[in-house]
Amino acid sequence: MSAEIVSRNQYRKAKQKAEKEEQTAANLLRYGRNRAEKRAETDAAAKLYADMDGRGLDDDPTDGSS
C-alpha cells in the first residue's frame, strides 16, 4: 500500500475554485438575464395580477376572507 502524495495547498486552492464556480453558476441563474428578459418577466407578473384583480381573485387562496 502506497499513499499518494497530496499537496494541501493545491487541495485548498482546488476546493476554493470549485466553490467559486458553484457561486458563479448560482449568480448566473439569479442575475444573468438581460433587460428584455427582466422586462418580459415583470410584464407577465403584472398581467397575471391584473387578470386576478379583474376577476376579483386574491393572491392568497388560503386567506379565507373571500
Encode pLDDT of 5-60 as tens digits: 779 999 999 999 999 999 999 998 888 888 898 899 899 999 988 888 777 666 66
CA atoms of 17 and 38, how far apart (whole Å): 30
The total number of structural domains that make up the chain:
1
| 62 in any annotated domain | no
Return the pLDDT at 57. 60
Instruction: Check residue 61 and give its pLDDT.
Output: 60
pTM: 0.43
pLDDT value of position 1: 62
Residue 2 located in a structural domain: no
> From CA 48, how far away is CA 58, in angstroms rounded?
11
